[in-house]
Amino acid sequence: MDGTRTSLDIEEYSDTEVQKNQVLTLEEWQDKWVNGKTAFHQEQGHQFADRGHSVVGVEISELGIREFFTEQNLSYSEEPITEIPGTKVFKDKYWQI
């Protein structure tokens, strides 16, 4: 076999295991957020910011970004990135994350 997993094989593995072995399409990634199938969350999501570092993340799912800020109890703003149509930047009120 070439190592490719079918959807039947994937059902046998945890979400973390699937992440190691599968590249997701943008639609599949969005579906994971919509359906709450994101098992990789951490309780403490801003350990670098807490140490004084500025943190930048890139995410295709606005739902994922909004959930992060909500889960971490962070107020945020959003604004368009004019150089890249259809994109936004989300920042906490201190511009650290």
Average pLDDT over residues 58-84: 86
Please say whether the beta carbons of 39 and 16 come within 8 A.
yes
Average pLDDT over residues 47-63: 80
- Please indicate, yes or no, whether residues 49 and 82 belong to a single structural domain of this protein: yes
What is the C-alpha separation between 83 and 94, in angstroms, rounded? 23
Write down the pLDDT at residue 83.
92
| The amino acid at 64 | G
pTM of the shown model = 0.58
What is the C-alpha separation between 30 and 46, in angstroms, rounded? 23
> Which domain covers residue 19, as residue numbers?
1-40
Split into its structural domains, the chain has a count of 2
- Please indicate, yes or no, whether residues 66 and 32 belong to a single structural domain of this protein: no
Contacts for 40 with CB less than 8 Å, ≥ 6 apart: 15, 16, 19
Q: Evaluate if residue 82 carries a pLDDT over 80.
A: yes
Element (H, E) at 71: helix 62-71
Secondary structure class of 10 (helix, strand, coil): helix
pLDDT one-digit tens code per residue, 14-50: 555 555 667 778 888 888 888 887 766 666 666 777 7
- Please indicate, yes or no, whether residues 30 and 62 belong to a single structural domain of this protein: no
The more confident residue out of 85 and 5 is 85
Q: Evaluate if residue 71 carries a pLDDT over 60.
A: yes
Write down the pLDDT at residue 40.
63
